[in-house]
Amino acid sequence: MNQIDVDQTLNSLADKLRPLLENKPVMIGIHTGGAWVAQRLHDILAMDDAIGTLDISFYRDDFTRIGLNPQVKASDLPFDVDDRHIILVDDVLHTGRTIRAAMNEIFDYGRPASITLVVLICRDGRELPIQADVIGETVTLKPNQEIKLTGPDTLALEIQEVGA
């Protein structure tokens, strides 16, 4: 994974997204890592509309078990969601639960025309029927491994061993 060049991957993603720009989409990045990736893509693609960011803390499915994250930030969608094409960006697609929560939240803002899911890394371990439309790199990890994006200035990927 130390071999994955994030900048190169970002450029390749931008190339894959460029054809979609004719629909005048808006970009939404999921906090924290997805927002960093989205910001980079937004700059590379020189999109017109301002970027949106989503904090999904209020839509997570594990609230009863682990409660509220005190560092929850406000979601910020500085555009009308109704009838827009949305490019939803996250850093890592794993179980799919974050994307489920993000889509629920987007629909509370309005009814988009479409949602295209872009992820930097797509890893194994899906628990819901959710797939990305545009993928940077696909990886397979051991059960006790996590892959994390660090930033915000320099973006880099790290594999971490999670405790037994």
Q: How far is the CB of 113 from other proteins (least distance, A)?
A: 17
Q: Choose between 50 and 72: whose C-beta lies nearer to other proteins.
A: 72
Q: Choose between 20 and 141: whose C-beta lies nearer to other proteins.
A: 141
Look at strands 52-54 and 114-123 and give their pairing.
unpaired
Q: How far is the CB of 138 from other proteins (least distance, A)?
A: 16
Q: How far is the CB of 46 from other proteins (least distance, A)?
A: 28
Q: Choose between 104 and 131: whose C-beta lies nearer to other proteins.
A: 104
Helices 6-17, 33-45: inter-axial angle, 10-degree rounding? 60
Contact (CB, 8 A) for 14 and 27: no
Backbone angles phi, psi at 99, to 5 degrees: -70, -40
Q: Give the binding site for other proteins (CB under 8 A).
A: 55, 57-60, 62-77, 90, 92, 94-95, 97-98, 104, 108-110, 125, 127
Helix or strand or coil: residue 114?
Answer: strand
